[in-house]
Amino acid sequence: MRVTVIGAGYVGLVTAACFADVGNQVTCIERDAERLSALRDRAEVPFYEPGLSDLVRRNIEQGRLTLSPSIAEGLPGSQVCFIAVGTPSLPNGQADLSQVEGAATEIGRAMTGPLVVVQKSTAPVGTIPKVRALVEAGLAARGVSHRLGVVSNPEFLKEGSAIEDFTRGDRIVLGSDDPQAIATMRELYRPFNRNHEKIMVMDAASAELTKYAANAMLATRISFMNELARIAEAVGADIEQIRKGIGVDHRIGSHFLYAGAGYGGSCFPKDVKALAHTARELGLHAELVEAVESVNQRQKLRVFEKISDHYQGKLAGKT
């Protein structure tokens, strides 16, 4: 199958390399000239992910993975196009969809035949109709008509195990009410869905919210353990023993039960904020979601306070 992936960042490059490695002809779009050259000429990945450089290099050398500087050049002839661009937080917590919207507009200007557009970037509920409208507007401006399917397919990759997560993940979520588009996606994902059925088909809004719900749930566990650690410290209990005591309960499990400096990274902070913002836009007060973020911010200060207390406030020159 011919596939285009817009965005050669963490999600986009993993997606492109994994699909190429099972025999698809994949073009990955990277606008930054320096990064494009490093990838195309030296298979130099701009971030660390175990095994990814070798995977990219092998598929470039074997002709299954190519790099392109533009959607206009890299999209024509493709059957599936993934949007895997950044959706950073705006100051109010809302997800910035400018890159997603820009990609959708360019897809409409460049597609040359039937196409399934797949929203891979984490984006709030309601993004899929926006993507469809922008692609259709691009087609209308050209006076052409091609069959268009739009699918939400959120990623669930962990840094350090992204290739394993992509190829042997727990689930493959597909959000669309278009049976033909779903059939195309099933065929594309078939090499990763052999041992047992992992594909979960739902409506687009549910797929979009599933991604936010997963990250918010994990962030909640982290904030809960940090709250519990404060209580444990106050009463003279050992949070590590408590963690073990509750982690063996199969209803709870042991993942994401470590107290510490709070969550960070590229996903949890922005996704928790975006979920809270979505609730506010709907006139809802997501008290638990907002508390998760509040606890996380306070925990960062708590770490500083503990260091300051240890040195009796004399932090000059302490690095």
Model pLDDT for residues 168-224, shown as the tens digit of each residue: 999 999 999 999 999 999 999 999 998 789 999 999 999 999 999 999 999 999 999
Average pLDDT value for residue range 103-117: 97
Tokens of 282: 């709907």
Q: What percentage of the chain exceeds 90 in pLDDT?
A: 83
Q: Name the CATH superfamily, with its identifier, for domain 2-202.
A: NAD(P)-binding Rossmann-like Domain (3.40.50.720)
Report pLDDT digits (tens) over 121-143: 999 999 999 999 999 999 999 99
pLDDT of residue 165: 96
Distance CA 185, CA 187 (A): 5
Distance CA 183, CA 165 (A): 22
Distance CA 86, CA 11 (A): 9
pLDDT of residue 134: 98
Alpha helices in 124-250 (DSSP H): 127-142, 162-167, 179-189, 204-235, 239-247
pLDDT of residue 319: 66
The predicted model scores a pTM of 0.90
pLDDT at 306 over 80: no
Report pLDDT digits (tens) over 21-63: 999 999 999 999 999 999 988 888 888 899 999 999 999 999 9
Residue 116: CB atoms within 10 A of its CB come to 26
Q: Is 267 a catalytic site residue?
A: yes
Report pLDDT digits (tens) over 265-303: 888 999 999 999 999 999 999 999 999 999 999 988 887
135: left (phi > 0), else alpha (psi -120 to 50), else beta? alpha
Average pLDDT value for residue range 104-113: 97
For residue 79, which of 183, 195, 154, 224 has the smallest C-alpha distance? 183
Task: Name the E strands within the chain.
Answer: 2-6, 25-29, 65-68, 80-83, 115-119, 148-152, 172-175, 199-202
Mean pLDDT, the chain, rounded, equals: 94
Question: For domain 211-310, which CATH number applies: 2.70.210.12, 1.10.1040.10, 1.20.120.1200, 2.160.10.10?
Answer: 1.10.1040.10
| 142 in Cβ contact with 223 (< 8 Å) | no
Would you kindly state where each structural domain of the chain is located, as residue ranges? 2-202, 211-310
For residues 202-235, b (16+ Cβ closer than 10 Å) or e, as one string?
bebbebbbbbbebbbebbbbbbbbbbbbeebeee
pLDDT of residue 308: 76
DSSP letter (8 states) at residue 95: B
- Select which of 18, 28, 81, 267 is catalytic: 267
